[in-house]
Amino acid sequence: MPRRLVFLFVCFCLSALIGISAYSDDLRPMPLSTYIDKMKGGWAGQMIGVSYGAPYEFRSEGKIDDGEFREWKPEYIDNSIEQDDLYVEMTFLQAIEAKGIGISARDAGWFFRDSKYDLWHANRAARDNLRLGISAPKSGHPKYNRHADDIDFQIESDLFGLLCPGMPLAAQDFCNRFGHIMNYGDGVYGGMFVTAMSSVAFFEDNIVEIVRAGHRAIPAESEYGMLIKDVLDSYEKDPKDWRPCWELLEKKWGQDDICGANNPFNIDAKLNGAYIAIGLLWGEGDWDKTLEITTRCGQDSDCNPSSAAAILGVISGYSNIPAKYTAGIPAIADKYFSYTNYNFNTLADTCAKYAKEVVAEYDGEVVTENGIVVLQIAVQDPAPPRKLEQFTDVMVEEYKPFWSEHDAAIRTNRLKMAVKDWNADWELFDCGQEMNPGLRKSHLGRENVLVTHPLNRETPAVLQRTVTIPKDANARLRLIVTHHIEVPESDWQLRVLVNGELIGTERIAGQSQQSSWKTLEFDLKKFTGQKVKIQLENAPNDWKYEAAYWAMAEVLF
């Protein structure tokens, strides 16, 4: 008997057990236990897919990856704990826990603003915007975010399909609010495409119908919609071989990416979304085939199998995922995902709590009879947003002049935030942009290292702080610094001024890798009992690799 008929038969028997009067004619019942198993399958699928594809991420750009793949081992699932493909979307779940399922885009954006992990592309630009005071949804608009069509929200959207069983329009509502934090147009449609498939998969197990449902959830006239139609048409033409479809997409859409312009690298949401669809369609519900095909499509080949496997996980439920893929999960089920307070077990509990609220909010009910909790779901048909959003070439030309000015403001603010995270007692002035100044998590054996660079050949970068030195204190300034040790000719001139008086200078150069850091102390006893302004100058010498690396700058009493 097909799995869907088995499910309906079980639901029929359950309704007889707890009383047919508990169900409305227009609601479809799903036992909470069934929902939890499918939702856990979705999370497990993400973990499996990202761990499967991680070694091959961007190994193949603009070509099919025909290289060797390693044989899967249970311990590979450990990789998922530290994957941004998972922990970033958990920030959204934390926001929902704090503000409820009706959270606004603006409030959701503030949670994203305060995140501490590294980000790239649309996510990084959005967080920079938020930290400049540009709130969502403006933070994802192309005027402020040239990465608006990138893959970022598509990667992070799986959560909303898992919270909205059988309710793709409810998932779309979440996507509208959360997706516009960092994306716009096709970048948001990617999330709608993925979440609609996950949402529909709670009641539908036909892969073709699931992908078609995802297609119906986005505007057909959008570029994303046109690309997915190309995939579906190719599948109808040749359901046995996915490679002709890949070739068609590469020829027609492969260069359609601002980030990867004139480069085989492509982080565009719609092309990578097509790879999810290719893996699902030609994978035919088989885990091995789906993971391999999605990964062999290349480009962001850990994110894409993660989303594809999440949908398979919903279809099958956690309990029916092939054991070889879930065998490693129990050992890490209580281990927290990086930057979160969630582990695999608490994710299931938290999502179950809010899924019940979503079901009730969108015209369903949650009933309990004879100790059995059942979600009565007002199942929805996918439909596209009413208004078309499209990041166009005309917009690119319109916003280009503004982008340069905006990028400068972002770089300045990034440095301000970096100094605050390094040592909030100091402020940075006149820092140039060469040699990628900012905060390094670690450098040459030390944690939390600040990098500065002179503004130009005449103007040093300056770290400055004001401090009151107690009377009779044995006051001194201790610095631990180095230069760009990787290049032998690199150096810079350290100048230390107190209230404008030069009290010390030192050329920072010449250390070896084994003794790369230089510790310096400057006597401040003559300034006891005074409020003083201390300035540390990263001054240029011969304008060759003039970056300064600061591991410590402390006033000691």
| CATH classification of the domain holding 223 | 1.10.4080.10
Q: Is 338 part of any domain?
A: no
* pLDDT single digits (tens) 43-62: 999 999 999 999 999 999 99
Asked if 401 and 433 sit in the same domain, the reply is: yes
Tell me how long the chain is.
Answer: 557
Between the alpha carbon of residue 503 and those of residues 24, 475, 522, 532, the distances in Å are 83, 14, 8, 13
Identify the domain containing residue 425 by its residue range: 395-556
The DSSP string of 70-134 is: PPP-GGGGGGGGG-HHHHHHHHHHHHHHHH-TT--HHHHHHHHHT--S---HHHHHHHHHHHTT-
Asked if 307 and 417 sit in the same domain, the reply is: no
Q: Given this model, what pLDDT does residue 511 score?
A: 72
Model confidence at 18: pLDDT above 70: no
- Confidence band (pLDDT; 50, 70, 90) for 258? confident
Model confidence at 278: pLDDT above 90: yes
Average pLDDT (355-374) is 96
Average pLDDT (256-273) is 88
Burial group, residue 355, by CB count within 10 angstroms (0-12, 13-18, 19+): buried
Quote the DSSP letter at residue 555.
E
**∠ CA(525), CA(530), CA(534), 5° rounding?**
75
Average pLDDT (121-130) is 97
Asked if 362 and 424 sit in the same domain, the reply is: no
Q: Is 162 part of any domain?
A: yes
Asked if 405 and 256 sit in the same domain, the reply is: no
What pTM was computed for the model? 0.88
Contacting residues for 249 by C-beta, under 8 A, at least 6 apart: 227, 230, 231, 271, 274
- Confidence band (pLDDT; 50, 70, 90) for 11? very low
Q: What does the CA dihedral 103, 272, 406, 182 come to, rounded to 10 degrees?
A: 0
Q: Is 385 part of any domain?
A: no
Model confidence at 41: pLDDT above 70: yes
* pLDDT single digits (tens) 72-91: 999 999 999 999 999 999 99
Q: Given this model, what pLDDT does residue 23 score?
A: 37
Asked if 362 and 402 sit in the same domain, the reply is: no
Q: Given this model, what pLDDT does residue 3 score?
A: 45
More confident residue, 308 or 260: 308
Asked if 356 and 410 sit in the same domain, the reply is: no
What are the beta bridge partners of residue 463? 428, 536
Tell me the average pLDDT of the chain: 94
Question: How many Cβ atoms are within 10 Å of 227's Cβ, its own excluded?
Answer: 22
Asked if 86 and 117 sit in the same domain, the reply is: yes
Q: Given this model, what pLDDT does residue 263 score?
A: 83
Model confidence at 19: pLDDT above 80: no
d(CA 107, CA 110): 5
Q: Is 384 part of any domain?
A: no
Asked if 373 and 487 sit in the same domain, the reply is: no
Q: Which amino acid is at 110?
A: W
For the stretch 96-105, contacts whose Cβ atoms lie closer than 8 Å and that sit 24 or more positions apart, written own/partner, are 96/354, 97/350, 97/354, 100/357, 101/163, 101/354, 101/357, 101/358, 101/361, 102/361, 103/177, 104/177, 105/136, 105/137, 105/176, 105/177, 105/178, 105/180, 105/181
Asked if 356 and 488 sit in the same domain, the reply is: no
Asked if 51 and 156 sit in the same domain, the reply is: yes
Asked if 414 and 274 sit in the same domain, the reply is: no
The DSSP string of 458-510 is: S--EEEEEEEEPPTT---EEEEEEE--TTSTT--EEEEEEETTEEEEEEEE--
Burial group, residue 46, by CB count within 10 angstroms (0-12, 13-18, 19+): buried
Model confidence at 481: pLDDT above 90: yes
Q: Is 314 part of any domain?
A: yes
Model confidence at 313: pLDDT above 60: yes
- Highest average pLDDT, of 24-33, 78-87, 508-517, comes from 78-87
Q: Given this model, what pLDDT does residue 513 score?
A: 58
CATH number, domain at 425? Answer: 2.60.120.260
Asked if 362 and 433 sit in the same domain, the reply is: no
Q: Given this model, what pLDDT does residue 514 score?
A: 62
Q: Is 390 part of any domain?
A: no
Q: Is 137 part of any domain?
A: yes
Distance of CA 518 to the CA centre of its chain: 37
Percent of the chain with pLDDT over 70: 95
How many domains are there within the chain?
A: 2
Q: Is 501 part of any domain?
A: yes
* pLDDT single digits (tens) 185-218: 999 999 999 999 999 999 999 999 999 999 999 9
Model confidence at 10: pLDDT above 90: no
